[in-house]
Amino acid sequence: MTVSFGSFLSQLSDPALQCVVFLTLCVILVNGWTDAPNAIATAVSTRALPFHTAVRLAALCNLLGVTVMTAFNASVAESIYTIADFGGDVRGALCALCAALCAIVLWSAAAWVFGIPTSESHALVAGITGAAAARPGGLSNVQGDTWFRVVLGLVVSVILGFLLGRLCGFPAVRDSRRSPAFYRGAQTGGAAAMAFFHGAQDGQKFMGVFLLGVALAQGRRDTETFLVPMWLMVLCALTMALGTSLGGKRIIDTVGHEMVCLDARRGFAADCAGALCLLLCTLCGLPVSTTHTKTAAMLGVGSSVPGHPPDWKIARSIVLTWLLTFPGCGVIGYFMARIFLSFL
């Protein structure tokens, strides 16, 4: 599935497609608002980078991540594109997809109010699943193998991120040859790497749902020729950057100040651990969450050195939000789809 910019503009006269495009951009904006800040949280919280400079760096590296990794391996986008079958009825399928996107925005906005970094990646999967289940066929519309890869990615990214955080934390903290100023400078590279892989992971997911909406509007679901156009990559990266600049500070305060007390050394270690975990998962084609990966890496680094333990109470509240995302966002997606479909 691919679409040129001119072809896309020619189809925008369709009100249903307009609704899907608007809601998809809202979800990408919310992702930049609540999820993308995790990529730059350590660099900002240790004052290695000013907030707005970090946002600009994240925007550039998100675009590079989307571009490079999609050209190399678009399996993450394809996972979202093929995760559910909304049926052959074009209007009904588009209504269900709109309901799924509304559910994601509502869930993520509620998490942001409480300053909790939720995962739009898993909210996306849950919302689409719930909406697809509201269509004729129920849960049989959902691809079980894709769901297995999502759950596997969740488990692997959290465990691997935590272990890599501990592994990277020990040598960084005990390094007496390099000054904190060296590590503050190195955090620019760490933040860039995290933002790059955020684009490679989350950018692909949202481009997948964007192309899904265009395909449903055309009444087709071909997956043999899955190509992501450059204009969509640029649009995705810019929308994420706008979201981060609007509301990212609140999430950064939660994970970078309240949950874990980080200095430049531990901040750099967390960036390296998170980026390495995302690289491995992306190469394996596992759709994982940047939020889960980076938070786990920060907790791993924070627990690697005695004397400055993480605030496990805040960590538990974040994990609880993660666990509630699948059933919570799925149920919202299901009932919103039922409501939307009742007007057809």
Radius of gyration of the chain (CA): 19
Given this model, what pLDDT does residue 330 score?
Answer: 92
pLDDT digits (tens, 9 = 90+) for 67-111: 777 766 666 666 776 778 777 677 888 888 889 999 988 888 787
Confidence of residue 310 (pLDDT cuts 50, 70, 90): confident
Given this model, what pLDDT does residue 276 score?
Answer: 93
How many separate domains does the chain show? 1
Q: One-letter amino acid identity for 270?
A: A
Confidence of residue 333 (pLDDT cuts 50, 70, 90): very high
214 lies in which domain range? 5-342
pLDDT digits (tens, 9 = 90+) for 256-292: 666 887 788 888 999 999 999 988 888 887 888 888 8
- What average pLDDT does range 17-42 have in this prediction? 80
- List own/partner pairs for 315-324 with CB under 8 A and 24 or more apart: 315/259, 317/116, 318/116, 318/117, 318/254, 318/255, 318/259, 321/111, 321/116, 321/118, 322/118, 322/119, 322/122, 322/154, 322/292
Bridge partners of 142, per DSSP, are 84
What SS3 class is residue 142? strand
The pLDDT of residue 116 is above 80: no
Q: Alpha-carbon distance 45 to 119, whole Å?
A: 20
Q: Alpha-carbon distance 282 to 111, whole Å?
A: 26
In three-state form (DSSP H/G/I as H, E/B as E, the rest C), the secondary structure along 67-90 is HHHHHHCCHHHHHHHCCECCCCCH
Confidence of residue 335 (pLDDT cuts 50, 70, 90): very high
Say which residues have a Cβ less than 8 Å from residue 6's Cβ, sequence separation at least 6.
Answer: none
Q: Alpha-carbon distance 141 to 31, whole Å?
A: 26
The candidate with the shortest Cα–Cα distance to 284, out of 76, 59, 109, is 76
Which of 112-116, 157-161, 288-292 is the most confident on average? 157-161
The pLDDT of residue 208 is above 70: yes
Q: What is the mean pLDDT of the chain?
A: 81
Share of the chain above pLDDT 90, in %: 14
- Work out the end-to-end distance of the chain between its first and last CA atoms, rounded to an integer number of angstroms: 27
DSSP string, 294-312: HHHHHHHHHTTSTTS---H
What CA dihedral angle connects 182, 185, 188 and 189, to 10 degrees?
Answer: -50
The pLDDT of residue 297 is above 60: yes
The candidate with the shortest Cα–Cα distance to 175, out of 263, 45, 273, 278, is 263
Give the distance between the most distant pair of CA atoms in the chain. Answer: 68
The pLDDT of residue 64 is above 60: yes
- What average pLDDT does range 140-158 have in this prediction? 86
